[in-house]
Amino acid sequence: MLRSIEVCQYEHARLRFAQADLVIRPEFGKSIGTLEFGLKRHCIAAGAVTTRRAYGDIETLLNSGNAERMAEPLAG
């Protein structure tokens, strides 16, 4: 059952990423399961590092005239 949830989450993310202007993908160094809450600090740190590295891309995107569209709520 857990695997079916992971497959659904993966597919949903794949579809949403296709619509994104920018996707930030942290490198975790290993596979992390859905319920591995003990690795939360590792995940947060990886996300922070990757986001800092993407500052230039984020700034470019914000300055490209897409800022108004980015502020719109996501259609669910």
Determine the residue type at 32: I
pLDDT digits (tens, 9 = 90+) for 26-46: 999 888 887 889 999 999 999
Of the pLDDT bands very low, low, confident and very high (cuts 50, 70, 90), residue 53 is very high
Residue 45 domain-assigned? Answer: yes
Token pair of 24 as six digits: 């930030």
Residue 15 domain-assigned? Answer: yes
- Residue-level pLDDT at 58: 92
- Residue-level pLDDT at 74: 55
Residue 14 domain-assigned? Answer: yes
Residue 76 domain-assigned? Answer: no
Residue 30 domain-assigned? Answer: yes
R_g over Cα of the chain: 15
Residue 75 domain-assigned? Answer: no
How much is the mean pLDDT over the chain?
Answer: 85
Total structural domains within the chain: 1
Cβ–Cβ < 8 Å for 68, 35: no
Query: In which residue are the tokens 């996501």 written?
Result: 74
For the chain, percent of residues with pLDDT exceeding 70: 86
Range of the domain at 56: 2-70
